[in-house]
Structures are given as structure tokens and as C-alpha cells.
Amino acid sequence: MGLSGGVDSSVAAATLHHQGHEVIGLTLWLMKGKGQCCSEGMVDAARLCQELGVPHHIVDSRDTFQAHIVDYLVAGYQAGVTPLPCSQCNRTVKFGPMLAYARAELGATAIATGHYARVRFNPDTQRYELLRAVDRNKDQSYFLYDLTQEMLGSLHFPLGEQTKAETRQMAEKFGLHTAAKPESQDLCLIEQHGSMGNFLEKYLAPQPGDIIDTEGRILGRHTGIHNYTIGQRKGLGIAAAQPLYVVALDVGRNQVIVGDRASVHYPECTVHRVNWVSAAPPAEPMTVHIQIRYRSGAVPATLFPLAAADAALTRVKVVFEEPQFGVTPGQAAVWYDGDRVLGGGIIEPLPVQARVAAALAQASSPQ
């Protein structure tokens, strides 16, 4: 049982324990300092296992976290994209290593976490399928699209069929010390450093440059392109007759390019590093509902394969039914068929010139 020390993983562990499963707690030590997965979390996880009377193991994963998450984030921001660390972390730092450790060191047959999602086996396709959680407000399937069939086949989500309110009630019923523990709202790195900007300051030196509009006019100065993301409006530090948004980040010229809101709507994008989690790669274009950020709703779109329809299909073109605001390179695009997660990948950056040209075209078109 993967334990972060929070109420969700605590209730998931207690649920399995009360169902009669032989539970072994496992906490990954990802980094020093405060944060839901670190020192405080390890103490709470150890206390929970003591309360339940089950073993608790801590695995030092700091080097893995540094290589796959910290270095990944820094390189992405340096390249002018906004990386999404959670999906990367789930596959390469958490679920993959957890499953390997559970099998090799503990003789465990399955792993479980406190994520809000569901897994089922489809006998018709002979595939395990990842599904949204019953509680749509807590659903975390967006972050789990990159899991493999092997992982899904050995994975349990005890909270997938219940709401967060029910989880709190169960924590009180079980008498868990985490019952009233506040919920984590941010990335663990943000919790530790206070903000993503503070975290990046440790790795990236300030490189001020120009803020320009889509016509090339200089409007002000920026503090380093790693401090900006597509669609950002606040914190630009420039005065204008209308609100301005970040349209593109030009790493080569060290420029932040801004435009009006209409110019940050995009009719399409390309997605790479695609993982087909619940379905086989399609041979033909397919209609789906796609989610381009965690807190946005899924919108209608058509996927066009950009490679042969086999396991090597790792890029697709997405054409939205209606242009979408702030399609951000580095973030995940995840596509659904109802509650079923078909697959997902990472939004590719457009060449700056193409992005600016698209912005100008979109700004001049009727909305």
C-alpha cells in the first residue's frame, strides 16, 4: 500500500486491512523538507501502520525523483515549456518502482494507492481499463494516463467508488489520526519551496528580456521566460488598454510574446509521448473528449494518428471542435470515451513563428 501520510492513502490502507487483506505500507522518500510525500508524510505513514498493526517500509527514492522529476522540470522550463510532473512521477517514480519493489522485496501480489480513479478488466478486449472516479471533483485519472497494462493489472484504487466526504467519514469511523489532516492542494515541490518560482530560482539564473506583442512592439521587460506560461495574464507588469496574455515564449530571442485573449485560443495541437492506456492505437481518426489541464472539462475533438497504427503510435494531431484557451506545451492532453481513459500524451511546442501566426489568425477571426 503506497502511503503518503495523507487521509486518502490512510483510509485506502485501513479499508484493505479491514477487508482482510495482508497489507504492507510502503512510503517513497522523495526529497527532504516539508511536503505531503516527505518528512511529515513519512512520520504520519509510520504512525498509521503502527495503528493498523502492519509493517511499514521506506524506500529512498531521492535520486530517482531528482533525475526524473526535478531535472525534467528544470529542463522543461528552461526550454520554454510548462512541464506536468505528476503523470511523469506516477509512472517513473511511483507505480513502476513500487510494483518492482513489492514483487522483488516483499513478495506482494498487488499494489494500491489512495488515488481517486478506477480499474476494470474488459474481457472483450483483454485489456485493463482506467476509469474516472465516481467523485468527479476528486477524479485523478488525468494524471494516471501514462500507466502501463502491467501496472493496471496489479493495481487497486480502494477510493475510486466513493466521494471525498465519505473518505473523511471512514477515517473518523476507523479512528485514524489523519482524519482531520488538511488536504494538500499543491505539488509537493511547491509545498516545500512555497512556489514554483522559488523552486526554479535554485536552478535557473534570472535572464531578463523583452515582452513584445504579436506585432513585435516592445511593451516591457520580463524576469526570465521560465517564470511565464502560455495563457498567463497576471504578473506581466505591463500596462495596456486591454488585458494581455502570454501567447508564446521565444527561447532563442529570450522574449515573452503577448496578445489579447482571443489570440490565446488554438484550434489544434500535436501531442507526443502518447500512451494508449485502455485502448489499442487506432488506425483511423477518432472522435473523443479531451482534457488539456487537470481542472478543465473534457471537450469534443478529433484525433488523427501521425504514425502507423501499432504500438509505435506515439504522436497524434488533435483538432478541437472549438478553439481552446491556453493550450500549453508540456502539459498533458488526455482523451476519454465516457469515463474510460483511452490514452494521453504531452502537448508539443509549436515553433514560435507558427504560434504567433496562429495567434494573429485567431485574434482576427470572429469569435
Pick the residue with more confidence: 125 or 240? 125
Confidence of residue 135 (pLDDT cuts 50, 70, 90): very high
Confidence of residue 51 (pLDDT cuts 50, 70, 90): very high
What value does the mean pLDDT take over residues 10-29? 96
- Annotate 109-157 with DSSP letters as a single string: S-EE---SEEEEEETTTTEEEEEE-S-TTT--GGGGTT--HHHHHTEE-
The predicted pLDDT at position 40 comes to 79
The predicted pLDDT at position 35 comes to 45
Q: What is the largest CA-CA distance in the chain?
A: 67
Grid cell at residue 94: 511511483
What value does the mean pLDDT take over residues 335-361? 84
The predicted pLDDT at position 366 comes to 60
The predicted pLDDT at position 34 comes to 47
Residue 36 has pLDDT above 50, yes or no: no
Confidence of residue 31 (pLDDT cuts 50, 70, 90): confident
- Which position among 37, 38, 188, 269 bears the catalytic label? 188
Q: Is 89 labeled as catalytic in the residue annotation?
A: yes
Give the range among 84-88, 146-150, 282-286, 306-310 with minimum mean pLDDT: 306-310
Which tens digit of pLDDT belongs to each residue from 254-270?
999 999 999 899 999 99
Residue 307 has pLDDT above 80, yes or no: no
- Which position among 37, 86, 89, 269 bears the catalytic label? 89
If you average pLDDT over every residue of the chain, what do you get? 89
Residue 227 has pLDDT above 50, yes or no: yes
Alpha carbon 316 to chain centroid, angstroms: 19
The predicted pLDDT at position 283 comes to 87
